[in-house]
Structures are given as C-alpha cells and as structure tokens.
C-alpha cells in the first residue's frame, strides 16, 4: 500500500471515510499498523515508563496560550508547542514566554500548509520560513522538530525533511477541535488511550478553546495522580 494511502487513515482533522458526518471514523489512538509502516516518523517516545509528551498545535495565540502555560505550571508539566510561524511573527512575546517557562517550540509550517497540496519546494520553503522565526527566540537544536499540519505529508517530503528535522506525529489525538464531540466522552477516550511514552495532541487555537479548557486540567490531574511526568520532546 502506498504511504499516501496509509496516511489517509491518519487520525487527522481531515480524516473522513465518506461524506456522511455520522459515519466519520475517528482514531483517538493511532493504529499500530500505521506506526509500523512509517518508521521515519515519531509516533511515541520510548524511554521512561511514566512519561507523557503533551503537544499543542497551531499557536501561539493571545489568551489561550497563556491559559495553557498556567495550567502546565500548576502541574509542573513541560510540553511542546508546534507553532504556526506566522503566529510566532505576530505574537513574539507569547513565543518567548513559552520558552522562558521551560517549554519547547516546534515547527508547524509558516501558514499551516497542507503537504499533499503543495509542491515539495513550496512546502520546504514554508517550513524554513517558520523555522527562521522559531530560531529567533529558541536556542537552535539539531535536528529541529516538525509536525505536518493535518498529518499530511508525502513520502518525498518525508525524505527531504528527515535530514534536518525529526518529524513528530502522535499517538493520541484529543479531538478538542471537533465541535460535534462531547468533551467528557473525548476526555474518557484519551484517558484510556494514553500510556507511557504517548505523544498527545491538543490544539492551541480558538476553535478548540472550549473543549481544551474542559479536557486539559482533567487530563493533567488524572495522570499526575497516577505518578506520570509530563515532558517536552527531547527532554
Ligand atoms: Zn495544525
């Protein structure tokens, strides 16, 4: 099966098996088969048996990013923020504050670009532009980390990027952006699907704000009580 076909089954925002909303498939947990077929991508991080890697996509944005930072501090948690470069350009103080408070910024393209709809040259340029803004504020790390918007990335783009970037996907997706989902049900799902080494995705965007504010504190509290640590990628 071609990688692109496999990636269509990703738990991405765009994943949709047909056009009927009631029959959409949602993967809170990335299927093991998909992970095993795409070894150049990071889906989870093996290491400590009590570590969880929280990630927040799409920020920084005023208000919500600060809320997330305060919540992380309350639980002594560190996390990774996959930033849209244009948001780093617009809100440098929030980006700097995120780093000062001990978290890591990752690259999420400059304009939240869909990999499947971009030429590799245009895609790489957009990613480099994002990295430029991140590198203004964060000590440069080799390799940098990158997450493709919507989980969309072609095999050619993976090959080009993986020399300079670790491409970070996810093990568990919160569906905090999904208006039709019930926040408590989504929370129950991700509590049951998260385990040692899980990379978990929440969203630092206004579309997800209401659900994130319900789910995140409860998620942190649940795993803190179980003795888990929350680490940033590379920590
Ligand atoms: Zn995104």
Q: What is the pTM of this model?
A: 0.90
Distance CA(187)–CA(173), nearest Å, equals: 10
Query: Over the stretch 184-215, which tens digit does the pLDDT of each residue have?
Result: 999 999 999 999 999 999 999 999 999 999 99
Q: What tokens were used for 115?
A: 């990999």
Q: Which of 88, 75, 129, 83 is nearest to 104 (CA)?
A: 83
SS3 185: helix
Per DSSP, helices labelled H in 45-175 are: 64-74, 85-90, 92-100, 120-137, 155-161
Distance CA(32)–CA(16), nearest Å, equals: 19
- 58 C-alpha vs ligand 1 centroid, how far in Å? 5
- Superfamily name with CATH number, domain 29-230: Glycoside hydrolase/deacetylase (3.20.20.370)
- 202 C-alpha vs ligand 1 centroid, how far in Å? 10
- 82 C-alpha vs ligand 1 centroid, how far in Å? 8
Residue pair 54/75 in contact (Cβ under 8 Å)? The answer is no
Query: Over the stretch 32-85, which tens digit does the pLDDT of each residue have?
Result: 888 887 878 999 998 878 999 999 999 999 999 999 999 999 999 999 999 999
């Amino acid at each position: 099966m071609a990688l692109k076909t496999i990636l269509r089954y990703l738990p991405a925002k765009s994943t949709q098996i047909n056009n009927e909303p009631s029959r959409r498939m949602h993967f809170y947990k990335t299927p093991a088969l998909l992970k095993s077929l795409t070894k150049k991508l990071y889906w989870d991080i093996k290491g400590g048996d009590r570590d969880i890697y929280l990630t927040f996509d799409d920020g920084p944005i005023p208000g919500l990013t600060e809320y997330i930072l305060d919540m992380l501090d309350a639980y002594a948690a560190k996390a990774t923020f996959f930033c849209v470069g244009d948001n780093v350009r617009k809100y440098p103080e929030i980006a700097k504050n995120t780093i000062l408070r001990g978290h890591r910024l990752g690259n999420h393209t400059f304009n939240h670009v869909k990999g499947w709809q971009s030429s590799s040259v245009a895609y790489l340029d957009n990613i480099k532009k994002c990295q430029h803004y991140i590198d203004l504020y964060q000590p440069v790390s080799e390799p940098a980390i990158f997450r493709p918007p919507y989980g969309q990335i072609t095999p050619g783009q993976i090959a080009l990027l993986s020399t300079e970037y670790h491409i970070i996907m996810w093990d568990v997706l919160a569906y905090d952006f999904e208006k039709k989902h019930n926040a408590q049900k989504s929370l129950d799902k991700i509590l049951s699907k998260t385990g040692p080494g899980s990379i978990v995705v929440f969203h630092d965007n206004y579309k997800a704000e209401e659900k994130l504010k319900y789910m995140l504190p409860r998620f942190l509290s649940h795993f803190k009580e179980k003795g888990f640590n929350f680490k940033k990628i590379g920590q």
